[in-house]
Amino acid sequence: MSKALEGVRVLDMTHVQSGPSCTQILGYLGADVVKLESPSGDITRRQLRDVPDVDSLYFTMLNGNKRSITLNMKSDRGKEIFTELVRRSDVMVENFGPGAVDRMGFTWERLQEINPRLIYASIKGFGPGSYASYKAYEVIAQAMGGSMSTTGFEDGPPTATGAQIGDSGTGIHTVAGILAALFQREHTGRGQRVNVAMQDAVLNLCRVKLRDQQRLAHGPLNEYPNQEFGDEVPRSGNASGGGQPGWAVKCAPGGANDYVYVIIQPPGWKPITELIGRPELAEDPDWATPEARLSKLDKVFALIEEWSSRHGKWEVLAALNEHDIPCGPILSTRELIQDATLRENGVVVSVDHPERGEYSTVGSPIRLSDSPVEVVRSPLLGEHNEEVYAELGLSADDLTALREEGVM
């Protein structure tokens, strides 16, 4: 069975996380992703190593379904070979600092001359303007994109989220841009630039908080548990901040992740009162309606927690689901990596690596009925030099000379 992006060649000049997360998704969708690395390799091959002298999990989990080649872009011969790679590629992706590729001699105008059909995607920390030269990392993007100011509890400091919305979140936004550009190329025959900034991607993921910022002009945000409101959206703990109130309630035996997140919809209130042993609250005018409960959401969830804290989270989950009450257990990283359902669905997969042995990684979050995904291990540094360079017409003698000259 063919793959959705079969026949699409991606020249992957990315490193660390935002870029590799993008190109890995393209690889999952069937593109031929050729990861171009300097002879010393992507820095994350060596970062956060848990096994000496072996590619780190940081690298392996972000670079599956790719081929690896090495090339010294500072050499004249390296630039010649790079030119040929560009000529034969459909997409080029990079996340260097601003202007880095231009300084190599490959401006957008030059790349268009080499390959007018090329789609050139760039990931940067920030868009044009006063922030453009700033260095960006995951949590800096969270800080400047609206996430940190609205995450955490009201009386605590701004908090980063564990989800990598700055890096991998930007990567998936870039995938969308690349796919749109590939589709448009079918009609125009021309490539184009795709630019995505980490700050912009985080802000897009925080758009409901901008919604609430504007709602503040018309009064307090009643769905929030906060008692006081200023002129900025506050941190609101575990509140859903949406139309239906929610909170994480404690469960037995009281461990760090013994919680279930519960959302109270109007039809769910009566069965909740029965579960917690307070059926009279279903008819009590001080508790019966969503409007009546809004002013005392802390007390509402405290009542639920009195019940839930006497039961394990899976027992609480089963009881709530029996009454169609939206809920979900807080799953730890250990529980997720061992989850049978996620394993069966290919969301968490085991991959064999020739040096590391077996490791677990996240499979494709995108499923297409006619484009099955096979998760392939990450490549060793330069593992596909002979294979890819042979496709450019270079002989074994040429490759030997390139190695001796330090070009690859």
User: What's the CATH number where 264 sits?
Assistant: 3.30.1540.10
Verify that 92 and 129 share a domain, yes or no.
yes
Q: Tens digits of per-residue pLDDT, 303-355?
A: 999 999 999 999 999 999 999 999 999 999 999 999 999 999 999 999 999 99
What is the model's pLDDT at position 51?
95
- Same structural domain for residues 34 and 146? yes
Residue 236 lies in a domain: no
Last residue within a domain, chosen from 325, 354, 369: 325
- Domain hosting residue 181, numbered range: 9-204+338-404
Catalytic residue set? 167
- Residues 175, 74: one domain? yes
- In a domain, residue 2? The reply is no
Of 279, 300, 325, the domain-final residue: 325
pLDDT in tens, 143-178: 999 999 999 999 999 999 999 999 999 999 999 999
Q: What is the pTM of this model?
A: 0.95
Let me know whether 304 and 370 are in one domain: no
pLDDT at residue 275 in the model: 98
In a domain, residue 364? The reply is yes
pLDDT, residue 222, reads 86
**Within-domain flag for 309:** yes
Domain containing 372 — which CATH number? 3.40.50.10540
In this structure, the answer to whether residues 123 and 261 fall within a common structural domain is no
Which of these three, 270, 290, 325, is where a domain ends?
A: 325
Same domain, 116 and 156: yes
Q: Is the pLDDT of residue 1 over 90?
A: no
The model's pLDDT over 264-288, given as tens digits with 9 standing for 90+, comes to: 999 999 999 999 999 999 999 999 9
Reference 202, options 237, 151, 244, 157; nearest CA is 151
Q: Which residue has the higher pLDDT, 243 or 6?
A: 6
pLDDT at residue 227, as a whole number: 86
Q: Are residues 252 and 138 in the same domain?
A: no
Q: Are residues 44 and 154 in the same domain?
A: yes
Indicate whether 234 belongs to any domain. no
| Averaged pLDDT score across all residues of the chain | 96
| Position 241 confidence tier, pLDDT thresholds 50, 70, 90 | confident
Q: Are residues 200 and 313 in the same domain?
A: no
Any domain includes 222: no
Same domain, yes or no: 200 and 251: no
Span 73-101, pLDDT tens digits: 999 999 999 999 999 999 999 999 999 99
Q: Indicate whether 3 belongs to any domain.
A: no
Q: Do 99 and 62 have their domain in common?
A: yes
> Looking at residues 288-315, what average pLDDT do you find?
95
Cα separations in angstroms, 133 against 61, 86, 98, 129: 29, 26, 7, 9
Look at residue 218 and tell me if it is in a domain.
Answer: no
Domain count, the chain: 2
% of the chain with per-residue pLDDT over 70: 100
Within this chain, do residues 295 and 361 fall inside the same structural domain, yes or no?
Answer: no
